Each structure stands twice: as structure tokens, then as C-alpha cells.
Amino acid sequence: MGIHSLNCLRFNMVKILIALGGNAIKQANEQGTKKEQMLNCDVTSKQIAAIIKDDPTRQICLTHGNGPQSGNLALQQDIAKDKIAPQPLDIVGAMTQGQIGFMFQNRIQTNLAKEGINKQCVCIINQVLVDINDPQFIGDNASKPVGNFYTQEEALALKNEKNWLVKNVKPSVTKGWRRVVPCPDPLSNVERNSIRLLVDAGVIVIASGGGGIPVVQKDGELVGVEAVIDKDLAGQKLAEVIEADVFLILTDVECACLNFGKPDVVKLIGEFHLPQMKEYYDAKHFLHGSMGPKVLACLRHVEKTGKRAIIASLDQAVAALAEKAGTHIIP
Ligand code: ADP
Ligand code: MG
């Protein structure tokens, strides 16, 4: 390869923000043992290594969910509360960022080495600023279910004991009650400058895990709060931070669909323009709390940057970047 083509490669460097779904770390039917989670992270890391092998100039920043891990850890705090001081959700969020960050650092590093790629991968424990006046903090607006399912009786006892907000999120079953916490919109990523520096230096950065640790500005200080930020919306903020060329959301389905779960389901595979996708979003084709925030995050990315956002399945990551799989949202 001559100097000219090397230079072309340098100027063509593509920055990719990858948001990994829950299935990248733990499958729904699993307990969440170390062995299971490490194996899932290994499978995911092979995809990341394949993305880099496909084009070694790619600069990558990763984010991930933490729902099952933080739910279990919160429950553990509760069960052990008479022996060990229980930690609130912001601390639990930080603990799971460290936990999942380690698993990915370990597996990504290993799989890159197997491919003969010399790149560092680091996790940043990451705070995300939210507005204390976000509607989600007001009254009983909070909408993000966390932790275990309870009967109505159990839920109301917990509400009195812990001052939790509880809601019947699955009215069709007896144990349909859960704690709900605010799910505020992310405003900015506190550690953004460090993330940007590392990504530009070619380091694979894991950031904003679980949507980031939510913090509010109070009396001139940043204070952690008991809330959960949607990881796809936080991922969009991270895409802004690194000025990503592509925002790639990897999940457990191959694309976004219209009429999801109905006999006349339509798979949205290929390119779709922003106004068209907005129409589908407004017509409520994408469920609240799952595909909804993914499509919303993509709409925000394309609107702000004029660049591409993709929703695809984890095992089609390389094909999705080659524009051969997934739902692509373009201006
Ligand atoms: P992740 O952990 O990757 O964030 P989610 O469960 O939050 O995964 O979102 C992916 C899920 O969204 C799919 O498994 C699917 O059941 C659901 N979903 C809801 N609406 C749609 C839709 N319109 N098209 C495709 N999937 C949808
Ligand atoms: Mg999700």
C-alpha cells in the first residue's frame, strides 16, 4: 500500500458509536452467573473485533444497558440490609458500570489480540447530567420499572417502608407490581472531554453504561439521584460527544418493524428518510421502553448531525455497517 492510499485511509477514519442491548451481556433465560455473562460478552466482543478487523481505522465508543445487573444488585442490597449498608441506585449504577466494563475490557482485549490487533479498551465510570425539573421527577410521572415483580400487597408495603413509587406494570398477572423510578432525558455527559480524547487517540472506550449515572446540579455541585436514563438516548448524547459518523444500535431483533407483533408486520430493512421514520414514530409503531427510545435516539442523531443511524441485530453488526442489514435512518 502506497503513502497516498495510507493517507486516504487516515482521512476516511470513521467514528462509530455502538449501543449494546441487554442480550449482549445476559440472555433472558439465564441466571447471570459469571460464566454465562463472560460467555455473552465474549460473543459480543468477537463482533466488536470483527468490526475493527473489517476496517482497522474505525474509532469505536461503546455503551451498554445494565437492567438485569442493576436489578439484581439492588435486590442484593435489600436482602443484606441488616448486615451491610444498602446502596442507592446511583451507586448501584456505578457498580454495574465497573462490573460490565471489566467483562467487556477483558473479552474485547482478548479477542482483538487473537486477531492480531493492538488496541487498548478502557471503561470510564460515567456521570450524565439530568434536569431536576424534568417532568419524570414530578408527582408520580416516573415511568421506568426497576428490580423485582411484587403482588399489590407486597408493593404497597414497600411503598410505605421505603417511600418507593410502585405501579402495576403488568395488570394481567398477580405479581405485576414493580418499583418505578424517573427516566429523565439526558442533557450532557460529564466526562465528555476525556471520552473524546481517548476515542480520538484510537482507544476503544466503554462509557455511559446503563445510560450513565444520573446526576443533577444542586447548590453548585453534581449530586447522584435515584433514576435511570435510557441507554439509547444517552448513547445519542455520546454520539454527539465523539462526533460519530455512524450511530449503531445493536439489539436482539434484526430491524425495527411496523405493526410489530401483528399478522401484517412489516420489517423496515434498508434506508428510510428522517421524515418518513418520524411519521412511523408518531404513529406509535415502536413500543415505549424498548424499540421506541431506539428510534427516537436515531431520529435525534440524524436530525442533529445529518449522519446515519442504524438499528440491527448484534450478529449482523458487520453487515449492518456495510449497509447490508438493519434499519438505516438517513436525512
Ligand atoms: P435492548 O436490551 O437491546 O435495549 P429492548 O428489549 O429494550 O432491547 O428492545 C428490543 C425489543 O423491542 C425487541 O426484542 C422487540 O421485542 C421490541 N420491539 C418493540 N416494538 C418493536 C418494533 N416496532 N419493531 C421491532 N421490535 C420491537
Ligand atoms: Mg432497551
Fold for the domain defined by 3-130+191-330: Carbamate kinase (3.40.1160)
- Alpha carbon nearest to ligand 1 atom 1, residue: 21
Active site residue 294: yes
Give the distance (Å) from ligand 2 centre to CA of residue 22.
7
Average pLDDT of span 45-65: 97
CB 260 within 8 A of CB 327: no
- For residue 5, what pLDDT band results from cuts at 50, 70 and 90? very low
Average pLDDT of span 153-165: 94
- For residue 13, what pLDDT band results from cuts at 50, 70 and 90? confident
* Degrees to nearest 5, angle at CA 319 with 314 and 325: 80
d(CA 104, CA 81): 30
Among the options 101, 231, 237, 326, which is catalytic? Answer: 231
- 266 burial (CB, 10 Å; 0-12 / 13-18 / 19+) is middle
From 201, 325, 250, 295, select the one nearest 46 (Cα to Cα): 250
Among 27, 253, 257, 262, which is best to mutate for testing ligand 1, by the most ligand atoms less than 8 A from CB? Answer: 253
CB 147 within 8 A of CB 175: no
- For residue 264, what pLDDT band results from cuts at 50, 70 and 90? very high
Tell me: pLDDT of 7 over 60.
no
Average pLDDT of span 280-290: 96
- For 217-248, the pLDDT digits (tens) are 999 999 999 999 999 999 999 999 999 999 99
Tell me: pLDDT of 3 over 80.
no
Tell me: pLDDT of 293 over 70.
yes
d(CA 262, CA 284): 14
- For 118-147, the pLDDT digits (tens) are 999 999 999 999 999 999 999 999 999 998
d(CA 235, CA 104): 17
Any residues with CB less than 8 A from the CB of 200 and at least 6 apart, and which? 59, 242
Q: Where are the domains of the chain?
A: 3-130+191-330
Active site residue 304: no
- 79 burial (CB, 10 Å; 0-12 / 13-18 / 19+) is exposed
Q: Is 126 helix (H, G, I), strand (E, B) or coil?
A: coil
